[in-house]
Structure 1
Amino acid sequence: MTWFETLLVVATLGSGAVWLLDALFFAKRRKAKGGLLDEEPVLVDYSRAFFPVLAVVLVLRSFIAEPYKIPSSSMMPNLLIGDFILVNKFSYGLRLPITNQKFVAIGEPARGDVVVFKPPHDPENNWIKRVIGLPGDKVGFHGDTVYLNGQPLKYETLGEYDGADGRAEAFGATLLREDLPGRPHTILESVGVPPPGGGEGDWVVPPGHYFVMGDNRDNSLDGRFWDYHFLPEQNLRGKAFLVWLNCQGWFCKNGFDASRIGNGIE
């Protein structure tokens, strides 16, 4: 969340500044007056203790990997409500905390990547979807079928989703394998009531943008339904790559699923 990121940056810079100023100026003055170094003010003592920890957390979270929790069913069957995932923060370039401004270009999303981002219409929150269309692609969605550059994707029906993982909200859905070029993956269809309008249409992805969709096709408010259908590259937060925990409810009061630990995200 943006507020946590801002708080972390402020706390890191603040504690570092207090520690540095004391080391450069005030500690020397105390020593010159005959004071002992271990008589430093409480604020300096806490800053010296917490700054290294905060700095490590900030670097890891901003440039290496960041944890997120899945709050909805839009990426089922591949990501479940309550999954805690890790997001690679350098796959698509290094970005400054808070502003998300890229300062080192490393790579770009590939078709089929599962990405975390801030959607144009909800910039305060992080969403997660799958990249379907790259810049220049023509993406269509008609009759539950995705069309990519004029060609329909191939689908293999795998059967009825039995909800064996305990996610009753998806029981009875049709489980399919979608042959997205370079990244075949499973999806769900016909669960609940599709969003208004059905999400059908054709879109040409502009430069510097991506078209994203959820794997739970009838329960995902994705690019098909946004007023501005495309995800700007600068809104990317990173690439989801690992489930490290699944926990239902506060403090896991509704259950803990150990089978999800260590699952890669396809």
Structure 2
Amino acid sequence: MQALLGNFALILFVLMVVTGVVWFADTFFLSKQRRARADAALAEFDARVARDKAEGIEREGSMPGKRAELEAKLTKQPAWIEYSGSFFPVIALVFFLRSFLYEPFKIPSSSMVPTLLVGDLILVNKYTYGIRLPIINKKIIDVNNPQRGDVMVFKYPKDLTVDYIKRVVGVPGDKIVYKNKRLTVNGEEISYKPLPDYLDDENLTYYKQWQENLTGVEHKILTDERAPNFVPNPDAFPHHELCTYNAEGFACTVPPGEYFMMGDNRDNSLDSRYWGFVPDQNIVGKAFFVWMNLGNLKRIGGFQ
């Protein structure tokens, strides 16, 4: 369960708008007003200096350099305008990058172990599944569709302010069967290669580790032999009539425009088995790269 700050994009957007309005107002209006006031004051300064010179009077305020000092003081931006103007291009760039290109996320839980570990800082490609308007997440340009095996970030269907990350197991139209901890997709049994048991350092517990070949995408998964095969207490989610549950597992047919998601830590993941399908409009992007893990620098790199 990967929960992120759901309102950050909105906060960033508001900051961009506010600083942008200040920058625009200063560039096209306020700076011109300051310039006009400065020109009037400087004209008065020049006239006074000329009178003093004609009368042979030398004032301290008329000394060389005072005119430039006065001009700089009169044209200087107020601090609130100066800071807003400085922040606006930075905020606008960050907003553009994270809205349309790449967005960083931090993995806070173990549902995607061993692919992604707690503390991994990952990058998510925001455009590979289509260009979407920020904040409302409405797709305006189609690019690609999610494929089985993709690791995808999406809005949690039960709370759209929360982002989850899971693996795409079923695409629209797929018949997914999960029986005795083994997947079958459209009647094709998924192959599993046993790997050395995985040690959970936090709980000092070993889990069975497998290399799963999900219709051509090979990746590692974990299973807990102590956990039951059945899905306890699934929700009455939309299209739940397309799923059947029994003591050995479940079977689901994925409806049009929706996706079936599962965590790689199969017996420690709250996913589509419990809360249902992910609509296309909930998609955030495709996770593809670990750019930092402060506790383990060896984690940096791409993943399947």
Is TM-score (shorter-chain normalized) higher than 0.5?
yes
Displacement of 1:40 in angstroms is: 2.2
Report the Cα distance in structure 2 between the residues aligned to 1:92 and 1:137, rounded to whole angstroms.
19
Q: Where does residue 53 of structure 2 map in the other structure?
A: none
Q: Deviations over 1:82-137 (max 9, x none)?
A: 11111111111121221111122211111100001112112111110000111111
**CA spacing shift, 1:143–1:193, aligned 2, 3 Å:** closer
1:208 match? 257
Instruction: Report the residue type matching 2:288 in the other structure.
Output: F
Structure 2 unaligned residues grouped into runs of 5+: 40-70, 235-244
The aligned residue for residue 105 of structure 2 is 68
Structure with higher helix content: 2
Aligned counterparts of 2:155 and 2:251: Cα–Cα separation in 1: 23
- Cα pair 1:77 1:186 within 8 Å, conserved: yes
The match for 1:232 among 271, 279, 289 is: 279
1:186 aligned partner: 220
Question: What TM-score do you get using the length of structure 1 for normalisation?
Answer: 0.89
Give TM-score, length-normalised by structure 2.
0.78
Aligned match of 1:151 in 171, 178, 188? 188
Show the counterpart of 2:132: 95
Point out the more displaced range, 110-119 or 170-179: 170-179
Residue 246 of structure 1 deviates from its aligned partner by 1.4
CA deviations over 1:153-177 (Å, ceiling 9, x no partner): 11111131134xxx33373101101
Task: Quote the offset at 1:39 in angstroms.
Answer: 2.1
Residues 219-240 of structure 1: CA distance to partner in whole angstroms, max 9, x if unpaired?
00110111xx211011011100
- Corresponding residue SS for 2:13: helix
Q: CA deviation at 1:53?
A: 0.7
Give secondary structure in 2 for the equivalent of 1:239. Answer: strand
Name 1:251's counterpart in structure 2.
none
Residue type matched to 2:29 in 1? F
Amino acid at match of 1:40: Q
Give SS of 2:91's match: helix
Contact 1:161 1:173 in 2 (8 A): yes
Gaps of 5+ in 1: 248-255
DSSP-derived class of the 1:184 partner? strand
CA distance in structure 1 between the partners assigned to 2:166 and 2:298 by the alignment: 23
Residue of 167, 177, 182 corresponding to 2:211: 177
Change in Cα spacing, 1:170 to 1:84, as seen in structure 2 (3 Å) is farther
**Correspondence for 2:292:** 245
Larger Rg: 2
- The 1:39–1:192 alpha-carbon spacing in structure 2 relative to 1, beyond 3 Å, is farther
- Looking at structure 2, the residues matched to 170 and 241 of structure 1 have their Cα atoms a distance apart, in angstroms, of 29
Partner of 1:2: 6
State the distance in 2 between where 1:246 and 1:126 align: 20
Tell me the secondary structure at the aligned position of residue 97 of structure 1: coil
Between the aligned partners of 1:127 and 1:57, the Cα distance in structure 2 is 22
Aligned residues of 2:197 and 2:209 also touching (Cα < 8 A)? yes
Deviations 1:145-201 (A, max 9, x none): 1111122211111131134xxx33373101101121021211000076456259721
Residues 104 and 124, structure 2, Cα contact 8 Å, conserved in 1? yes
User: What SS does the aligned partner of 1:98 have?
Assistant: coil
| Identity across the alignment (%) | 46
Change (3 A) 1:170 1:205: farther
State the 1:41 CA deviation.
2.2
Who is 1:86 aligned against?
A: 123
Counterpart-to-counterpart distance in 2, 1:14 and 1:190:
51
Is 1:131 aligned with 2:171? no
What's the C-alpha RMSD, in Å, of the aligned pairs?
Answer: 1.8
